[in-house]
Amino acid sequence: MTTSIGSPTRAELSETPTTTGPATAPAPLRLVLSTHPGHGSLDGAWWPRSRNLATELADLVDHFPTSAGRVIRAVYSPPDWLPVSRRVDIARGYIKVGFFPHDDTHVLALRLSTGEVLRLLVVPPATPADEALAVMKLASSPTTLSATTLLGSVHRNYGEEPVEHWNDDGGSWWDPHPTPPSQRPPR
């Protein structure tokens, strides 16, 4: 499995496995972690291959770099994923998952066995490799930019803004009104 701590390379983010082996060999994990977690708004980025959280999270947890720690819990942004149960089966049993209510931050928070929490930018699965590489590099550097701002910093080939790309499965709180319901004046 290819995983990077620091800046990723194009080979690390390729769509196909870089190792030789049977046709069923798993694809490399597309994950970049900051060399100094906790020094920015994000601690890295993850580029899953689909919006199926059960499958993608199991792969992430099972192949997470041992040098970074063991993942014991995950909290996700609901608009990024298809619906999932509160437990996801992994190689060593299961992991509990939760979600940020009314959240659209494109962040996955991972609690490690050390007690540390890593905040990873979730790069949309359909993002072209060059754009994913650029945003993952930014997310793994000490930055104060939000995940949404980072996603907006790369050009998309599919003709829509990054925020609108995620607004394809059930909508979001700003649609059609730009103010969240909790901040609107009473009627």
Residue 175: per-residue pLDDT:
47
Q: What is the pLDDT of residue 176?
A: 54
So what's the pLDDT on residue 12?
46
Note whether 70 and 113 are within 8 A (CB). Answer: yes
Is the CA virtual torsion 96, 106, 24, 67 positive or negative?
A: negative
Determine the Cα–Cα distance for residues 119 and 147; give it in Å rounded to an integer: 10
What does the pLDDT read at residue 180?
A: 57
Terminal alpha carbon distance of the chain? 54
Q: What is the pLDDT of residues 114-168, one digit of tens each?
A: 999 999 999 999 889 999 988 998 888 887 777 777 777 765 543 344 444 444 4
Residue spans of the domains in the chain: they are: 4-183
Kindly report the pTM of this predicted structure.
0.69
| Residues in the chain with pLDDT values less than 70 | 1-26, 104, 154-187
